[in-house]
Amino acid sequence: TMSTTMTNEYFLEAKGLTKYYPIRSDLLARMTGRTVVLKAVDGIDFYVRRGETLGLVGESGCGKSTTGRLVARLLEPTAGSAYVQGRDIFTLDPSEILKLRKTVQFVFQDPYSSLNPRKTIMQIISRPLEVHGLASSFLEKRHRVIELLTMVGLGPEHVDRYPHEFSGGQRQRIAIARALAVAPDLVIADEPVSALDVSIQAQILNLFRQLQEELHLTYLFIAHDLSVIRHISNRVAVMY
Ligand code: ADP
Ligand code: MG
């Protein structure tokens, strides 16, 4: 049908995507027994074409992270749909969800909390390889982890270290390497440079651009900073 054709044009498409959070602590809700909701995302539509970067910009609290998590299927929507390569991600069965986890990866804002402090870089980056059965032997895993570290500007000398031994920018490089481990097509980056020093931000943004070119990645790039969005995006969606 017409609508299927339209949907397949885009790598990612959100239609009427909606997320309400119940506010349990709300006094009125408790007194009346009615559910009061916070409308974090209220019926939004957007698309991302294969190979492009859609910048998603808006002030703090407008629902950007919620949107990113919805289209990564890290959150269930209240209503609406999100299509990845034409398939509604909210109607997938468990084996298809596992496949989606290989296609769509996420880079979080805070490189301090996103890396487990008790695991080495080897353990952190090889975990997705294990989950998706992408490396069988220890040596194969190690080879791939070093390859990934090299892609993000780190090296073999970093493989057995712990997250606390790295700067914020280096940690974000590690988080990017982990996201790339499964060779995803789409990377959703939620304010990936917001927690970094301004001098480091440009380096990480350039890394994102360089990786996009080399690996033909598609990006949904979330930021609240317009200069960051301008630097990285092909198109911009503004959220209110
Ligand atoms: P942004 O990333 O643009 O700053 P968020 O998507 O994090 O915005 O949040 C949008 C709104 O939803 C905010 O008002 C936030 O407080 C609220 N919110 C986010 N997550 C939750 C949650 N788990 N429970 C309740 N409210 C939430
Ligand atoms: Mg956010």
Q: What is the pLDDT along the chain (240 residues), one digit of tens a residue?
A: 344 444 467 999 999 999 999 887 667 666 777 778 899 999 999 999 999 999 999 999 999 999 999 999 999 999 999 999 999 999 999 999 999 999 999 999 998 899 999 999 999 999 999 999 999 899 999 999 999 999 999 999 999 999 999 999 999 999 999 999 999 999 999 999 999 999 999 999 999 999 999 999 999 999 999 999 999 999 999 999
Query: Which residue type is seen at 172?
Result: Q
The pLDDT value given to residue 193: 96
The pLDDT value given to residue 29: 64
146 in Cβ contact with 156 (< 8 Å):
yes
Residue 167 CB neighbour total at 10 angstroms: 12
Measured CA to CA, the distance from residue 27 to residue 50 in angstroms comes to: 46
The pLDDT value given to residue 63: 97
**Which residues does ligand 1 sit against, CB inside 6 Å?**
21, 38, 40, 58, 60-66
The pLDDT value given to residue 26: 62
Measured CA to CA, the distance from residue 223 to residue 64 in angstroms comes to: 8
Residue nearest to ligand 1 atom 25, measured at CA: 21
Measured CA to CA, the distance from residue 109 to residue 172 in angstroms comes to: 9
Ligand 1 pocket: which of 65, 106, 222, 240 to mutate (most atoms within 8 A of CB): 65
Q: How far is CA 238 from CA 46, 53, 93, 186, in A?
A: 10, 14, 32, 20
